[in-house]
Structure 1
Amino acid sequence: MESHNNIEELLEKYFEATTTVAEEKKLRMYFEQDAVAAHLEQYRPMFNYFKQAKTVQYEQGNLRSEPIKPRRKLNFRWVSVAAAVVLSFGVYFGTDTYNNYQEQKQARLAYEQTKEALSLIAANFAKGTEKIAYLQEFEVAKQKVLNNENQ
């Protein structure tokens, strides 16, 4: 197998991230065997972990030790058709709702304007009623004067 010096050099290159795929394979094979130098024994769990981690998959809160299955592809043609249908319903019902909102807004505006106009008319009628009360007093006084003259 590989000499310990060669393995140490490969480890240095591995930690500097300059190894090739073939050199990393040599390192994995070295640490999988039983005869590993005592001073390199500390690296064995790391390479064993990498071997095991390839098969572990995280799925909805559970770790599974099964190979990762390829996902099913979505058929984008049907997704685009569904999106177009949803969009057309939204446009149709959205414009209907918007038109109803605009009609309600115009009706509310007309109601407020009519209410304001009627309040102005009521205020002018109130002023006119006050003036008629003065005319009534004037008429009473006029009648008294005329009655005094006729007597």
Structure 2
Amino acid sequence: MELIKIEQLLEKYFDGETSITEENELRTYFSSSDVAQHLEHYKPLFGYFSTAKEQQFEQQIPLDTKKLKIAWISIAASVVVLLGAGTFAYFNYHQPQQNQDLGTYDNPEIAFRETQKALELLSSNVNVGVESVQYIHEYEATRDKVFIVD
């Protein structure tokens, strides 16, 4: 009777349907000395689990010192950047301010003439843009003639 139960448990095990207690029953059965002849070839499979529990990892793990070096290099680089920025700010703060002439005029006649020059320059640049738009209108009219557009 027990042999039939073990065979059923093996079928369930290979189908992935066993519970933990059923798997423990299989392990205890295959670790005993009275295993059926036709099930002997499963004994190493279930014997592996009991020997794998007893194994321990004994190899030394080397410490990775590269990360420590990279950390110190990044700290040193940030200190250098901060010192450079501080030095730049220190020397530029103590320089006398440049003449900040913003184009203001005390004489209204000179201001009027300068304003006229600026507006003439603006007008000439706007006219160039308007001329290029006229070329586009000519192109569209010609295109409409060649390709009849509804």
Instruction: State whether TM-score is above 0.5.
Output: no
TM-score, normalization by structure 1: 0.42
